[in-house]
């Protein structure tokens, strides 16, 4: 799986990233330490979760190739994703959109959980 991150989204992410961080594209379904609610029955909800390299990530066993390095996803969430995807900034609303063959999530939140280590 591949994820292309456009320049505007990169500008939001890069100040939060570093060699001591890992990035998760987390399906927000209430499973795992970084997913706080499960609206899976109502909507598809993804978050970009930044964690410290020493924080647990056992639920995130599948890697995702991005132009910002390797990110991780929950294996079962790949059924909601496409083989090739993009993260873009909706400049009208200032929201991050995840799309593949069609829109996957039109409001992806960035969560920096790395300070919780």
> Residues for the chain: how many in total?
117
Predicted pLDDT at 45: 87
Question: DSSP letter at 35?
Answer: -
**Distance between CA atoms of residues 92 and 18, nearest Å:** 29
50 and 113 Cβ atoms separated by less than 8 Å: yes
- Domain extents in the chain: 2-116
- What would the pLDDT profile of 11-65 be if each residue is shown by its tens digit? 999 999 999 999 999 998 877 778 766 555 456 789 999 999 999 999 999 999 9
Give the other-Cβ count within 10 Å of 14's Cβ.
11
Single pTM value for the model: 0.90
- CATH assignment of 2-116, among 3.30.470.10, 3.30.565.10, 2.60.300.12, 3.90.226.10: 2.60.300.12
């Amino acid at each position: 799986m591949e994820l292309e991150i456009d320049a505007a989204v990169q500008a939001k992410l890069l100040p939060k990233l570093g060699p001591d961080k890992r990035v998760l594209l987390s399906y927000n379904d209430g499973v795992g330490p970084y997913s706080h609610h499960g609206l899976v029955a109502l909507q598809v909800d993804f978050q970009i979760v930044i964690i410290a390299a020493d924080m647990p990530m056992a639920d995130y066993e599948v890697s995702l190739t991005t132009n910002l390095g390797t990110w991780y996803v929950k294996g079962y969430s790949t059924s909601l994703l496409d083989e090739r995807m993009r993260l873009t900034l909706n400049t009208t609303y200032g929201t991050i959109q995840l799309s593949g063959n069609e829109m996957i999530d039109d409001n992806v939140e960035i969560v920096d959980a790395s300070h919780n280590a």
